[in-house]
Amino acid sequence: MPQIKAFFDDKTSTVTYLVWDPATRAAAIIDPVLDYEPHAARLTTDSVDAVLDAADELGLKVVWALDTHAHADHLSAAHHVRELTGARVGIGARITEVQRVFSSMFHATDVCPNGGTFDGLFQDGETFALGDLTVRVIHTPGHTPACVTYVIDDAAFVGDTLFMPDYGTARADFPGGDAATLYRSIRRILDLPPETRVFVGHDYLPDGRDKPAWETSVAEQRAANVHVHDGVAEADFVAMRKARDATLDAPRLILPSLQVNIRGGAMPPAEDDGQIYLKIPVNRLGV
């Protein structure tokens, strides 16, 4: 069984997972966070470096940096992990659709919508090795077209598709998102064995809870998820999700995040003055 250590980032409410094979010490970092202060446009690597330090202390070899999707609420540190460890960067194969939309939005002429900045583009049902462990990929779109769930033995890393049962589910109003598709993806996750451990990508504290949490189970989700427990019909979920999404503001870091994350966590190329710039396309987002 995989060994798992979680790292919670307070600023973005993101959970990064260090996952490893205890036999071979091969490790993956799932959804690593790059620290970005938008008011000063200041970029640092403290969060992901803490994960890398833990991997060193445990004697692990990081071989994969995996994103569950192109995040809109934090910048991915996958490229930083690759630069420091030689790890491969992986994501769902439909990232090409996300690249197509946002390379146009940000006029990112260096980004070809072919996934070329990633080392692994995973199809639904594909498997790959993590040491002696097998990682199985489930395509779980709806929040974004490229969302995937990584299943390693009894552990499922679901990204933003599901949250803790008392918080519910991801929004579905981003470009390429769809509430009905999200419902069907969630049902695929909930069809896993009931004892499967579910590791969520964020925890936004709901009323009545003051400590972050990130591990639940298929059985708990089916019994108690406030949006999609057993018995909730697709039409009811879609109506709820659309009404709720209409009240949500765009994530605070959506503009810097997406233009970095379609590049696998790499910055845009420096311009002719040697400076790297992130762009703000006015009246283009539509969220």
Q: How many domains does the chain have?
A: 1
Contacts of 49 (CB under 8 A, 6+ apart): none
The answer to the question of residue 96 being in a domain is yes
Q: What is the pLDDT of residue 163?
A: 98
- CA-CA-CA-CA torsion sign (194, 200, 204, 209): positive
Helix (H) or strand (E) holding 139: strand 133-139
Instruction: For residue range 226-239, list pLDDT tens digits in order.
Output: 999 999 999 999 99
The answer to the question of residue 256 being in a domain is no
Q: What is the pLDDT of residue 287?
A: 64
Q: What is the pLDDT of residue 284?
A: 81
Instruction: For residue range 93-151, list pLDDT tens digits in order.
Output: 999 999 999 999 999 999 988 888 999 999 999 999 999 999 999 999 999 999 999 99
CATH number of domain containing 214:
3.60.15.10
Compare 283 and 77 and report the one with higher pLDDT. Answer: 77
* Mean pLDDT taken over the chain: 96
pTM: 0.96
Q: What is the pLDDT of residue 285?
A: 78
The answer to the question of residue 266 being in a domain is no
Q: What is the pLDDT of residue 106?
A: 93
The answer to the question of residue 281 being in a domain is no
Instruction: For residue range 240-251, list pLDDT tens digits in order.
Output: 999 999 999 999
The answer to the question of residue 283 being in a domain is no
The answer to the question of residue 36 being in a domain is yes
Specify the range with the lowest mean pLDDT, choosing from 136-140, 207-211, 255-259, 270-274: 207-211
The answer to the question of residue 268 being in a domain is no
Instruction: For residue range 7-22, list pLDDT tens digits in order.
Output: 999 999 999 999 999 9
The answer to the question of residue 133 being in a domain is yes
Percent of all residues in the chain with a pLDDT value above 70, rounded to a whole number: 99
- Write out the residue range of the structural domain in which residue 22 sits: 3-249
Kindly tell me the burial class for residue 68, based on how many C-beta atoms sit within 10 Å of its own C-beta (0-12, 13-18, 19 or more): buried
Alpha carbon distance 137, 124 (integer Å): 6
Length of the chain: 287
